[in-house]
Amino acid sequence: MNITRAEFLMSNSDVTKCPKPNKPEYAFIGRSNVGKSSLINMITDHKNLAKISGKPGKTQLINHFLINSDWYLVDLPGYGFAKVAKSTRQRFSKLIFNYIETRENLINLFVLIDSRHEPQSKDSEFMEWLGVNGIPFTIIFTKADKLTKRKLSENINTYEQEMLKKWEEMPPYFISSASTGQGKDEILSFIEETNKTVQF
């Protein structure tokens, strides 16, 4: 898939005010500072489509983008240990879960995991909730360029072994780097092929 047009549509804190659910939608989510905005900018070929910040927890709203006039890309608030007030974190959580549970055209949720770190309970618990509730999701391991190929392979293998303690099989995943462009073609091909199987 070649992205020829990517445009920002809206930001809001009310799921009912999201765009009409008339196109397939793919949302991106992850712990704070996982590299979500950088990844979105990389796969869309737009340096500033998603705002990048050095401060974790910067994304606080549901951000919708229209891609090639065909599908929606959604940038969701991060979860985990963002440096925001507890009341704000609770509002984030309510917003995130409300969106995931009620957005009828959500085709896939990309859960971003920092490939440099050991499995985190926050991620595991979140993906377990997705599985229990039948929400289709795909893992994207980010920042692959920060590790040697050997270390990257070891980390992902460790992650897989941890996941298999609760999952019958490892959920599908991609390996990415916003710096090198790794994973871009695979992610976009996945979206393109998935779009062929849905009708709106």
Q: What is the pLDDT of residue 139?
A: 98
Whether the per-residue pLDDT at 59 is higher than 90: the answer is no
pLDDT value of position 199: 87
What's residue 55's pLDDT? 44
The predicted pLDDT at position 80 comes to 61
pLDDT above 80 (res 34): yes
The pLDDT tens digits for 78-127 are 776 445 455 555 555 788 889 999 999 999 999 999 999 999 988 998 99
Confidence of residue 10 (pLDDT cuts 50, 70, 90): very high
Q: Is the confidence at residue 158, as pLDDT, over 50?
A: yes
pLDDT tens digits, 160-170: 999 999 999 99
Q: In 3-state terms, what secondary structure has residue 44?
A: helix
Res. 132: pLDDT tops 60: yes
The residue among 199, 55, 36 whose CA lies nearest residue 114 is 36
pLDDT bracket for residue 57 (50, 70, 90): very low
2-18: average pLDDT:
92
Global pTM reads: 0.91
Nearest residue to 59 via CA among 88, 98, 23, 18: 88
Is 107 in a helix, a strand, or coil? strand
How far apart, in Å, are the Cα atoms of 135 and each of 47, 85, 155, 179, 184? 30, 28, 25, 29, 23
Domains of the chain, CATH where assigned: 6-195 (3.40.50.300)
